[in-house]
Structure 1
């Protein structure tokens, strides 16, 4: 079964308009360690949790996440949308606080609704805005909804970025989500070496959902630290980076 689904995954990655099964949570977790790069599964062999947030930056909510993470003594990776980067100051604050900033896309439409050139241009201009604001090279791309197509993979590669997904999420965007449901779902899915997907904005989620996420983070991070897990950005999740954009070296961090 795994070999059949693995073939389907690779075929989808090669087809410009077809979403990959890697965007479907359980299938992605089961398949990608075997058929794709570790980044697609979000899994590392380290006792480390990569904490990631999508859909910002948002002047209403993102600063509260920055303050909470600072109080907890951890850093994270924020995947941002280019259309909301007019406030360069906030992105600069994120980087100055030690957080990593990645590209989520220009808008939140699935990659399958964009043509290859449009995707390439949107990813590249979002990357450029982030680098202008932070003064640092961008390493990562996470497509909206986790929908991977051949075109999205090509567009990320053209921008010098690696595509990364996740291994655990809290479904924190849902109207019915509560801090306890988010915590329970993340903990149910998370293994050491996992990547957690949460959201620091409610722009594409239920109104006010970021408050639920923030309270869940206040519970999750101390639990992970108490279990002896390091918590940090994707830059700490696998091997150290060499000087070439988006290339992983074999050195341990």
Structure 2
């Protein structure tokens, strides 16, 4: 084997190793093999989480709706969005919600870059701590793409990765409150972690409105099932990355 081919194979091996953990993005894989990473928690609790904010258009209305329902949630914020709306970040914490890390930019980190991964996560952790006055505990990578590099960077930043067990597909232009609830409902059971969005920065314009009006349906269903709806801090997760 020539040196050029050997180098090519070595590079390919590095990329395969880097991307291997990203298989947890596949729902059946993470639910069966990595339940804690998927967000399986306490059997009497459903964790409510939001991605992509804070957004001055959607987040304030979502916060008001949650107040009306008496529900608290975990918000996975983007550093660049928090930098643009620091007052909203502070409001998240002031209203009793949990602030977590979604990364600085909303983009999948497919190629290995340990320095980039570490720097961007550290930058986001520092922004949340400084602007919201809280130290974040949880991390969810954009698109659920958790690579080896991001996993290592999260651990170095003291973050525990958590994905989701149920979502509402609320990012599409066709989403309605009924469709969001209908998509979520089969996954609404004890220990579930629900993924929704309070921002349309990476979604169809105004798609968060469907989420807003699906929240009362979600809360009512959890009540019917005798389940408490709340943030990840009350979900009974240990922060371990495996079973």
TM bucket (normalised to shorter chain) is: 0.7 to 0.9
Distance in 1 of aligned mates of 2:42 and 2:150: 27
In 1, are the aligned partners of 2:99 and 2:134 still within 8 Å (CA)?
no
State the partner residue of 1:28: 30
State the partner residue of 1:93: 91
Deviation at 1:30, TM superposition (A): 2.5
Deviation at 1:46, TM superposition (A): 2.5
Q: Between the two structures, name the one with larger relative contact order (CA 8 Å, sep ≥ 6).
A: 2
Deviation at 1:116, TM superposition (A): 1.5
Which sections of structure 2, spanning at least 5 residues, go unmatched?
A: 1-12
Distance in 1 of aligned mates of 2:52 and 2:164: 15
After TM superposition, which residue ranges in structure 1, 4 or more long, deviate above 6 angstroms?
Answer: 11-14
Which sections of structure 1, spanning at least 5 residues, go unmatched?
A: 1-10, 241-245, 248-253
- 1:180 aligns to 2:182 (yes or no): no
State the partner residue of 1:148: 146
For residues 1-253 of structure 1, the aligned pairs below 5 Å read 15-18=17-20, 20-33=22-35, 38=36, 40-86=37-83, 87-113=85-111, 115-238=113-236
In 2, are the aligned partners of 1:103 and 1:140 still within 8 Å (CA)?
yes
Deviation at 1:217, TM superposition (A): 1.1
In 2, are the aligned partners of 1:13 and 1:20 still within 8 Å (CA)?
no
Deviation at 1:191, TM superposition (A): 1.9
TM-score (norm 1): 0.84
Residue by residue over 1:86-108, the C-alpha shift from the partner in whole angstroms, topping out at 9 and shown as x without a partner, is 22111000000000000000111
Residue by residue over 1:108-145, the C-alpha shift from the partner in whole angstroms, topping out at 9 and shown as x without a partner, is 11022461211111111111111112222110000000
Aligned residues: 228
Deviation at 1:179, TM superposition (A): 1.2
Residue by residue over 1:140-186, the C-alpha shift from the partner in whole angstroms, topping out at 9 and shown as x without a partner, is 00000000110010010111100000100011111222111110111
TM-score (norm 2): 0.88
Distance in 1 of aligned mates of 2:72 and 2:121: 24
Q: Compute the RMSD of aligned alpha carbons.
A: 2.2
Q: 1:138 to 1:12 in 2, by over 3 A?
A: farther
Deviation at 1:209, TM superposition (A): 0.4
Distance in 2 of aligned mates of 1:20 and 1:132: 30
Distance in 1 of aligned mates of 2:225 and 2:43: 14
In 1, are the aligned partners of 2:18 and 2:112 still within 8 Å (CA)?
no
